[in-house]
Amino acid sequence: MAALALLLVNRVAAEEVGTAYEALRVVSGQLGRAALNHVISVSGDNGTPQPDTWRVLLEDRNAPAGVREVVVTNGQIATDHPSSRQVVGSSEGATIKTSHLNLDSSGAYAVAFHTADKSGTQFSTVNYTLRTDERGEPIWVVTLKAQDRVPVGTVFIGANKGNVARTEGMFGAPVLPDVPANDRVADQEPPPDEEGDGESHGPLYHTKAKIRQTFQRAQDEARGMFDRVRRSFEDFINRT
């Protein structure tokens, strides 16, 4: 665990360039600091571990659909135009409180990598989406993909406290379809144990209990990982 954590921390430090925070810095520098108050989501696909391009959706009342999309590539804005992308779910149109951000995409990768390792999930590329959850808090949705780009698992990580809220397609659960970049789904806890009278819990009781224990152990270790990769966006954007 210690060796893996050190390896990931060193990798995060070496790959700060091209992260989601860097993309938001570009948006702030070219569109003005006020633009950061209107960020709905930040997403990037096929990261290895960081993607080449980030898509930043901004709230824009002057746009026909109320949304503006800014595409950042190689540290520059490649396109900036009104967007027809739909933002659906319990936090429709919710903007991210950037003051609550304590986890860059590099840190989200480290936590997701560790969680995947604990569940025995192997992957080649990563899709990222930073958005709000149903409580209005920022959350990373990190979708892990195999070499053929088929999703093999998704990790939901709180961007404020670095907690692994839940996973999909991991720890013995079935693989679910990829989470679209701008879909907003309510976070769910892992399914409860089957009810029983203490003697008969069903044929899968012990298997589910073992999976739950493994997941909870991964959650606990992710908190320790967060302490190592924590990165305040406020400190990042204000530094010279």
As given in the structure block, the two tokens for residue 85 are 């992308």
Q: Contact at 8 Å (CB) between 19 and 50?
A: yes
Query: What's residue 181's pLDDT?
Result: 41
Phi-psi region of 69 (alpha: psi -120 to 50; beta: other; left: phi over 0): beta
Query: What's residue 29's pLDDT?
Result: 96
Q: Tell me the three state secondary structure of residue 234.
A: helix
Global pTM?
0.76
- Token look-up 């203490």 returns 198
Backbone angles phi, psi at 59, to 5 degrees: -65, 130
Quote the CA–CA distance of 72 and 35 in Å, as a whole number.
14
Query: What's residue 171's pLDDT?
Result: 73
Q: What is the pLDDT along the chain (240 residues), one digit of tens a residue?
A: 444 444 444 444 445 569 999 999 999 999 999 999 999 999 999 999 999 999 999 999 998 888 999 999 999 999 999 987 666 544 555 899 999 999 999 999 999 999 999 888 999 999 999 999 989 999 999 999 999 999 999 999 999 999 998 899 887 655 444 444 444 333 344 444 434 444 455 555 555 565 566 666 666 666 678 888 999 999 999 985
Domain ranges of the chain: 19-98, 100-229
Query: What's residue 239's pLDDT?
Result: 85
